[in-house]
Amino acid sequence: MSFTEFMIELCRPEDEARCVPKLAKLIHQLALEESADAAEPEEIEIIVSALLRTGSSDFLLATAGGEAIGCLQIAYRLSTWHASRYAYIEDVYLTQVARGRGVGTKMLDYALQRAESQGCDSIMLDVRRANSAAQRLYARLGFTDSGSTIMRRSLPLGDAYCDTTATLAAIEELRGPGRPPEGQHAGS
């Protein structure tokens, strides 16, 4: 696919049926490219829908010629230190054809303006050390190294540490009746 023009839209709850499958597909592709354990697109759709419905996050969708070529999530958080709202950019992904064409710059510019309009006093993101192209883009847009290191540990710790029964029940309720648990297929 070759394109000269693209469009970036803010997905709203009323756009859920049209936008969420496209966003989930792009986020799934991002996870695969990052060599992460990727949830199935259907599971990602549930999470994106919930974030969209609650207003916890905004999602930007870039398209060209009717094809989804990029996405970006703006998650809204509250800072106890600053007693204010801030934004966190996540799930930034561009298809190969969209890279180096200004799509990422336009999505990030939109995200900065959107976060400001939502009353955020700052915006943060994380980027892999090996992703120098993204780091250059973020630096051009005024992002600086915060000096923090993001660390991760898989959860849950197990039943000895916490009871996840209520959370698992909520997930099953969101999945709907008759859907098999994650990792199992009907008839297994």
Give me the domain span that covers residue 132: 7-148
More confident residue, 188 or 90: 90
Do the domain assignments include residue 120? yes
Do the domain assignments include residue 153? no
pLDDT of residue 188: 44
Question: Whole-structure pTM over 0.75, yes or no?
Answer: yes
The least confident of 3-12, 73-82, 100-109, 173-182 is 173-182
- Report whether pLDDT(160) > 70: no
Taking residues 103-117, report their average pLDDT.
Answer: 97
- Domain tally, the chain: 1
Do the domain assignments include residue 166? no
Do the domain assignments include residue 101? yes
Give dist(CA 16, CA 19) in Å, integer: 5
Other CB atoms within 10 A of residue 49 CB: 18
Domain at 128, CATH number: 3.40.630.30
Query: With helix as H, strand as E and coil as C, how does the chain read?
Result: CCCCCCEEEEECHHHHHHHHHHHHHHHHHHHHHCCCCCCCHHHHHHHHHHHHHHCCEEEEEEEECCEEEEEEEEEEEEECCCCEEEEEEEEEEECHHHCCCCHHHHHHHHHHHHHHHCCCCCEEECCCCCCHHHHHHHHHCCCCCCCCCCCCCCCCCCCCCCCCHHHHHHHHHHHCCCCCCCCCCCCC
Contact 121, 86 (CB under 8 A): yes
Per-residue b or e along 160-173, where b marks 16 or more CB atoms closer than 10 Å to that residue's CB: eeeeeeeeeeeeee
Which of 70, 108, 116 is CA-nearest to residue 89?
108
pLDDT of residue 169: 75
Do the domain assignments include residue 2? no
pLDDT of residue 164: 62
Residue that is written with structure tokens 């999505």 in the block: 107
pLDDT of residue 162: 55
pLDDT band at 186 (very low <50, low <70, confident <90, very high): very low
Do the domain assignments include residue 97? yes
Do the domain assignments include residue 139? yes
Do the domain assignments include residue 155? no
